Chains A and B, each alone.
Chain A
């Protein structure tokens, strides 16, 4: 079946936000998202001849993003061995100062909970709750059964809520203790 060679420029315009969000789902730290997104589209440009038009461009980009995210995580582990990585979590620039601190704490907690989750569960959880994708869309994107999406999501949510609660309780106790 004839198909047009993928135009990376238009793919970037259409799917930039999706790829950006995907990097979070795949556990790429905030400070490395810029580079990771860039890598995804550079790889897409290099492999554009392989794209046969059968799958949606988004699914194809997601496949590339997975590989890129894996490399970034690996690189991050290496950096952690060599020295501490700078804290890259940043609050939204529009938030007022008092909210920023609370946001920063929340973001840090969410990041830690997500980092502790199983990779497959995290992927489904972030695509659902951060990217706002539906279960059938995720199933098509990841090439898995719909029931598998539901099952992973159920486990992920249970774990996320439990861990977040526990972390807040623990940190609240720690703060109270320090104040006393």
Chain B
């Protein structure tokens, strides 16, 4: 026991040093995962399936194609051959993007709705690609295993101290054991909390090389995090994911600034791509989806700015005005809500949900004729509506009283 205690600090150091062992990057389609990496891939595929089943994956063929094009451009610039990735968008209002070890790359709608242009998207995309290509999850997994063994040795040391009379420590030591048991959760933890600081910085540095080689304006890189940091500070929010935290955003901004400062040629990129219009067109649907999520969280200002941005980019869509109507209705502004629903129906007379909301709002205002017209149209457009019986009663303008009551 005593002998172990003496050598333990050195063993801890040696095991921690092993964490930096070399892992070759993925370069082409012939890549075969290492034995201990296969389990990570299986976990990643299971996570892909679980997210699909949860119904949180946002399906938008146009946006997916756009993201895949940006990804292909970045992969080509990264000098990879035949490496395939899968890009998906999650309906989640928080700031985050993550790469799984099997090449699945996820963007949260909350992030897409707040990025300003394609170059900013490419910055985040290239950063996540680096996590995948450099196999950072595997590196973290291996170092975590090493750290877990080290932690157990540490627990042993703490126990020695406890025997010697240091009260209260054993229960705290149990927390360390719990942490060591959590190795299997590293996959999810990395996606939520980010990787180690060194790996995040490495992804920043290599990512900016990739975005520049792909023709994107590298000056947009620190601006992404500048913009997000300002927005988070204004709203006084601190979100649960890595990219939603102030320290992480500040660190990314400073890291990109440092990388740019070390590359004198990087600033002169007048001919490079920013891609604001293309980005806003492609991400317009995700902005509306995210606005709905923001409304559910009562983050009215953010929701409104996303709806307005969508309407500006798309020169007004029925879906955009419907969302604006929803915003006004939930925000307690019925006149503006009715105006917005009517505008939505001018652009798309068959938008069932706008007929429903307009009908219900007119009914609340005792405009039974107007209500009846829109509610009947809703039932024609949505014959299988789950609330059909209730809407039919409203459409007949029946007095809604319990049988036998006055």
Partners in one complex: no
Q: Which residues of A are in contact with B by a Cβ distance under 8 Å?
A: none
